[in-house]
Amino acid sequence: MTSESGRPDKATVKAADRAHVFHSWSAQGQIDPLAVDRGEGSHFWDMDGNRYLDFSSQLVNTNIGHQHPKVVAAIQEQAGRMCTMAPGFAIDVRSEAARLIAERTPGDLNRIFFTNGGAEAVENAVRMARLHTGRAKVLSTYRSYHGATSQAINLTGDPRRWASDTASSGVVHFFGPHLYRSHFYAETEEQECQRALAHLEETIVYEGPGTVAAVILETIVGTAGVLMPPAGYLAGVREICDRHGVVFILDEVMAGFGRTGTWFAADLYDVTPDLLTFAKGVNSGYVPLGGVAISEAIAAQFEQRPYPGGLTYSGHPLACASAVATLNAMAEEDIVGNAQRIGERVLGPGLRQIAERHPSVGEVRGVGVFWALDLVRSRETREPLVPYNASGDANQPMAEFANACKQAGLWPFVNMNRTHVVPPCTITETEAKDGLAILDGALSVADRHTVAAGS
């Protein structure tokens, strides 16, 4: 059946989805995906006409909002001119996208290898590090997400790894800094920083420095909690890597391209990795695109010998055209500056005020349009509102909280015991305040599950 618009109606969309779409990370029989009609700016609408303020930026990728007219026009224009061209050719939009990205990445990360998304970027960064060093092992943190392809999921720390962990991927996990739930019994940021660095160095020494190709970190850990590294940590990792001849990879797939109120999260810490992975915000996911920004030293390795990796759609013209338009629009409209101001003036102060009113909020952390509320049963013990990796009944408090947000017209980002506040970088002050008011109301639902409420 079709609706008045000539497109399939809601029942038809839902039926074909149920019959034929196999969804990510889900027990297929236990999900009921919302049928969505359209998006615009900071909002999207379901097929019943309900509007949602998108506090998730989908999967934290629509940094420029939904349907930015300049990006839509660039894709349309490119489609009319050249839809596809193999990666072996030099074409204008690919060259220009690479130039604009290299111009923004820190230090000497001047060469861009394009992929279709974040996981492939991570796969290739690790391959480059191994070829560069001739070593096999890669170190990553337990609190991390790096993607769902074979190497990337093994690098991932969170429980999504378990089902795919081959225990033979060459990955060694360690603990990064996180003062609120310190693994190092630290009481200050300085202690946490020093002890986390000592732990990393010890891990490298015990693994055998001559076996370690790379350390990969999310500059600010995203899905696993919006964890901001303490001052000095990333500089310390850089120094440890240099001392042991280890490649330093920063994964900026989620943190990059404006989310932190700077082009890259690395800019906040004045650190330059050897390789930087990106995706999501580079073109807000309008067409799949990711990549690796490569230092001069690593790129030089492949001046005279071939790089053994490639993808049919590497540097796809539609993806590159949308990246060029996105990066230009972000600069022309000061979208990165907007993210910084919204964080400093609205989200930061607003979330801290909300935290004072709600016993379920244990910690507020973040920057720009990249924030998390760590929800707890008790502020004293910091026991998470739901257990690690909870599902079903055990996850009820978070499910109730998420439903309360949706009922009130806010689409939240929820992971374990946290809600992340990750709207588009283009969000207006009024929209941000509207979203905070809805969060404030929905947190009363979470409060009912705290020790303070007798739960």
**Binding residues vs ligand PLP (CB under 6 A):** 59, 117-119, 122, 145-147, 218, 222-223, 251, 253-254, 279, 290
Given a contact cutoff of 8 angstroms between Cβ atoms, the answer to whether 13 and 5 are in contact is: no
CB of 393 to ligand PLP, least distance (A): 27
- Nearest-10 crossing angle of helices 233-244, 189-207: 20
Rounded Cα gap, residues 167 and 290, in angstroms: 27
- The distance of closest approach from Cβ of residue 280 to ligand PLP in the complex, given in angstroms and rounded to an integer, is 7
- Looking at the Cβ atoms of 119 and 432, the one nearer to ligand PLP is 119
Cα dist. 93→76, 77, 114, 332, 335 in Å? 13, 12, 12, 18, 22
Residue with smaller CB distance to ligand PLP, 276 or 351: 276
Q: Which helix (H) or strand (E) holds 415?
A: strand 413-415
Nearer to ligand PLP, 256 or 343 (CB): 256
Q: Is 305 helix (H, G, I), strand (E, B) or coil?
A: coil
Q: Give the nearest distance from C-beta 256 to ligand PLP in angstroms.
A: 9
Closest CB to ligand PLP among 290 and 435?
A: 290
Give every CB contact of residue 260 below 8 A, 6+ residues apart in sequence: 220, 267, 268, 339, 367, 368, 370
Minimum separation from the CB atom of position 143 to ligand PLP (A): 11
Q: How far is the CB of 378 from ligand PLP (least distance, A)?
A: 30
Residue sitting closest to ligand PLP (CB)? 118
How are the residues of the chain apportioned to helix, strand and coil, as percentages rounded to the nearest 5? 45, 20, 40
* Min separation Cβ 18 and ligand PLP, Å: 24
Query: Closer to ligand PLP at the Cβ: 217 or 339?
Result: 217
Residue 171 or 253 having the CB closest to ligand PLP: 253
Name the residue nearer to ligand PLP (CB basis): 248 or 449.
248
CB of 264 to ligand PLP, least distance (A): 13
Under 8 Å CB-to-CB from 334, ≥6 apart: which residues? none
First to last CA, the chain: 48
Q: Which residues contact 341 (CB under 8 A, 6 or more apart)?
A: 261
Which residue lies nearer to ligand PLP by CB, 50 or 150?
150
Cross-strand partners of 111: 294
What are 212's strand-pairing partners?
137
Q: Given the complex with ligand PLP, which of 224 and 298 has the nearer CB atom?
A: 224
Query: Which residues are bridge partners to 217 per DSSP?
Result: 250
Q: Which is nearer to ligand PLP, 160 or 433 (CB)?
A: 160
Q: Smallest distance from the beta carbon of 218 to ligand PLP, in angstroms?
A: 5
Q: Which residues does 224 contact at the CB level (< 8 Å), separation at least 6?
A: 143, 144, 145, 157, 158, 218, 415
**How many Å apart are CA 222 and CA 154, to the nearest integer?**
17
Q: At what angle do helices 396-407 and 429-447 cross, to 10 degrees?
A: 140
Least distance in angstroms from the C-beta of 156 to ligand PLP: 8
Closest separation in Å from C-beta 279 to ligand PLP: 5
